[in-house]
Amino acid sequence: MPALRDEEFGFQVDQADDEESTEEDDDEESDDDEDDEESGDESTEDNTGGEESGETEDDDDDDDDEETTDDDDKDESDDDDDEKDEKADSFKDEDGEGLISGKAADRGTEDSDKKRQITVCVVCCLLLAIILGLGLGLGLKDKGDDETPVPVRTPAPTRNVTIPPTAPPSTMPPTQDESLDEVIVTASADTTIYVDGQFAGDGFGERDVMLVQGGTPGNPDLPRAFSLVQFNLNITQLAKLREPVEIEFCLEHVVSAEDPDRVVTYTACLLPFSSPVDQYTGTNLTFQIPADCIDGKNVTFGVSPPDDLLCIPATDLVLETNGNEIDIRYLRARQQNNGDKRKLLNLDPVLVLAIFNPENSDQPGDQFYTSNDPEERGAVVEFMSTGDNATDVPTLDPDGNATGVPSFEPNATEVPEPQYDPCSMCGNNFTATILDAEVPGADGLTCEAVQQACGMGFCDPDQCSILPLAVNEVCGCTLSPGDVVGI
């Protein structure tokens, strides 16, 4: 069957090279016409019947061709020519134009319709895409031109506050230092020392009570015992006390049900500090009582069974006074049991209080609560200010000059003259700190300020009668304010 080609949505049959048509006799033409009619009918059935009807028509065409060939009595070459002529004639109409008949025509029509539909769809899609693109572009452009901008929240502006520079604080502020009316120090350690008996070698620094007992020599049931109490002081706090000052040792007594009228007298004194008291036992003592009491001073007090709180006056034990002034350096000297004040270090003092019964007694002793008591009923030492004129304290101006009204007696009319010249020892390039007579509000004073303060009656020349011979020695010479090298 001749090849088919696609041309303008249709099909055209390539005609045979040999266009010569052999006229057949009338019988053959009539037969061919009948065959063409039958082919047309079968083609119609093929359009409604589907692929099976088309296959039947192909078989009928082959039968007709075979019949035509049988009728023709010519030789094989003539039969072939006739066959070609018949097929060529079958694709011509009355005017001799080429036609497509049968199954080929139907298939060509279907393919042409499908391709035409596909082409139309593609063209429509392209047109639709172009239209949508143009419309969207124009719409966005119009929207962009007409749209009102949406306000956007911007962070609040920050304000940079420029703080004007301030002058550095003066080393000697003009405001007065804070003064204290009372300082209470609790015991840091305490223990019981058995002089003889089975407990002489034992330590009792962890007990919540301590015993003071006269005892009877040779009586194991009533050994001799005394108590030691240690207080760690803060010299900075003590220096802020308003003078004059009174001191008391207060003890919590363990109440007993014995005769309430019985009174036992005990003695208290201060001992030089060398080791924490809770490390002592009756066999490793480094002192003797009462022989080693500082300055041989002591106080006595009585205890009855129903007593609970006992306070012992101890101002004379702790401090050495000059009139109404307190010499704190004396307290430091006692701490080391060394009277040479020129060699003392700037250390916080430690007080060791000894409580004992100097007499032998066949009566049981008394117990006192220690710092280990869970209810905190241990011993305390109280420093109490009793001054009436402590509010009249001087202050310093930025130049270090003492200002304010000194606390003179109401009838005082003259200002005592200074009896010493600290500048001759310290020099004007250093500052002098005299803790005993320090002007409130200043950690260190220049030599001129010390002279002026003493000249105005703020300090007693006897307070610093021992002056340093050179820098780094005692009595308050410092390299910088507040940096005390020695006292």
Report the CATH number at residue 270: 2.60.120
Range 105-137 burial, b when 16+ CB lie within 10 A, else e: bbebeeeeeeeeeeeeeeeeeeeeeeeeeeeee
DSSP state of 206: T
| pLDDT number for residue 237 | 81
Residue 157 belongs to some domain of the structure: no
Looking at the 3D structure of the chain, how many domains does it have?
Answer: 3
pLDDT in tens, 63-104: 444 444 444 444 444 555 555 555 445 444 444 444 444 555
Please state the φ and ψ torsions of residue 333, each to the nearest 5 degrees.
-65, -40
| pLDDT number for residue 319 | 76
- Higher pLDDT residue, 437 or 75? 75
350 and 219 part of one domain: yes
Calculate the alpha carbon distances from 166 to 109, 143, 159, 162, 170 in Å.
104, 60, 21, 12, 11
Q: How far is it, in rounded angstroms, from Cα 58 to Cα 282? A: 141
Mean pLDDT for 231-256 is 88
Residue 118 belongs to some domain of the structure: no
| pLDDT number for residue 139 | 66
Q: Quickly count: other Cβ atoms within 10 Å of residue 164's Cβ.
A: 4
255 and 360 part of one domain: yes
| Band of pLDDT at residue 354, cut at 50, 70 and 90 | very high
Range of the domain at 419: 395-478
Q: How far is it, in rounded angstroms, from Cα 259 to Cα 274? A: 39
Query: For the chain, what percentages of helix, strand and coil (3-state, to nearest 5) are there?
Result: 30, 20, 50
| pLDDT number for residue 45 | 40
Please state the φ and ψ torsions of residue 14, each to the nearest 5 degrees.
-70, 120
- Higher pLDDT residue, 115 or 378? 378
Residue 450 burial by Cβ neighbours in a 10 Å radius (0-12, 13-18, 19+): buried
Q: Quickly count: other Cβ atoms within 10 Å of residue 255's Cβ.
A: 14
Q: How many CA atoms lie within 13 A of 55 on its CB side?
A: 3
255 and 192 part of one domain: yes
DSSP state string for 413-470:
-SPPPPS--THHHH-TTSEE--GGGPPTT-S-EEHHHHHHHHHTTSS-GGGG-S--SS
> Is the separation of the CB atoms in 181 and 384 below 8 Å?
yes
Residue at 60: amino acid letter: D
- CA pseudo-torsion sign 142, 143, 144, 149: positive
> Is the separation of the CB atoms in 2 and 14 below 8 Å?
yes
Domain end position, chosen among 58, 85, 110: 110
Domain end position, chosen among 94, 110, 126: 110
> Is the separation of the CB atoms in 49 and 109 below 8 Å?
no
DSSP state string for 318-348:
H-EEETTEEEHHHHHHHHHT---GGG--S--
> Is the separation of the CB atoms in 484 and 236 below 8 Å?
no
221 and 297 part of one domain: yes
Q: Which residues pair with 309 in a beta bridge?
A: 252
Between CA 403 and CA 413, with CA 407 as vertex, the angle to 5 degrees is 95
pLDDT in tens, 2-58: 444 444 334 443 433 444 444 444 444 444 444 444 444 443 344 444 443 344 444
Residue 158 belongs to some domain of the structure: no
349 and 287 part of one domain: yes
365 and 217 part of one domain: yes
Residue 156 belongs to some domain of the structure: no
Q: Quickly count: other Cβ atoms within 10 Å of residue 278's Cβ.
A: 19
pLDDT of 441 strictly over 80: no
Residue 170 belongs to some domain of the structure: no
415 and 350 part of one domain: no
Strands (E) in 358-428, as ranges, are 366-369, 380-385, 395-396, 402-403
Structure tokens at 224: 């001799």
| pLDDT number for residue 486 | 36
- Higher pLDDT residue, 80 or 317? 317
Between CA 234 and CA 240, with CA 237 as vertex, the angle to 5 degrees is 150
Q: How many residues does the chain have?
A: 487
Q: How many CA atoms lie within 13 A of 381 on its CB side?
A: 23
pLDDT in tens, 244-261: 889 999 999 999 888 888
358 and 399 part of one domain: no
- Higher pLDDT residue, 216 or 438? 216
Residue 122 belongs to some domain of the structure: no
340 and 219 part of one domain: yes
| Band of pLDDT at residue 192, cut at 50, 70 and 90 | very high
254 and 363 part of one domain: yes
| Band of pLDDT at residue 323, cut at 50, 70 and 90 | very low
| pLDDT number for residue 239 | 79
Residue 485 belongs to some domain of the structure: no
Calculate the alpha carbon distances from 343 to 8, 288, 381, 403 in Å.
130, 26, 27, 34
| pLDDT number for residue 263 | 92
State the residue for tokens 């004992």. Answer: 356
250 and 351 part of one domain: yes
| pLDDT number for residue 293 | 92
Q: How far is it, in rounded angstroms, from Cα 356 to Cα 268? A: 7
Query: Which positions ≥6 away from 129 have C-beta within 8 Å?
Result: none
| pLDDT number for residue 299 | 93
Mean pLDDT in the chain? Answer: 64
Residue 238 belongs to some domain of the structure: yes
Q: How far is it, in rounded angstroms, from Cα 380 to Cα 185? A: 6
329 and 372 part of one domain: yes
Please state the φ and ψ torsions of residue 467, each to the nearest 5 degrees.
-100, 155
Domain end position, chosen among 353, 385, 417: 385
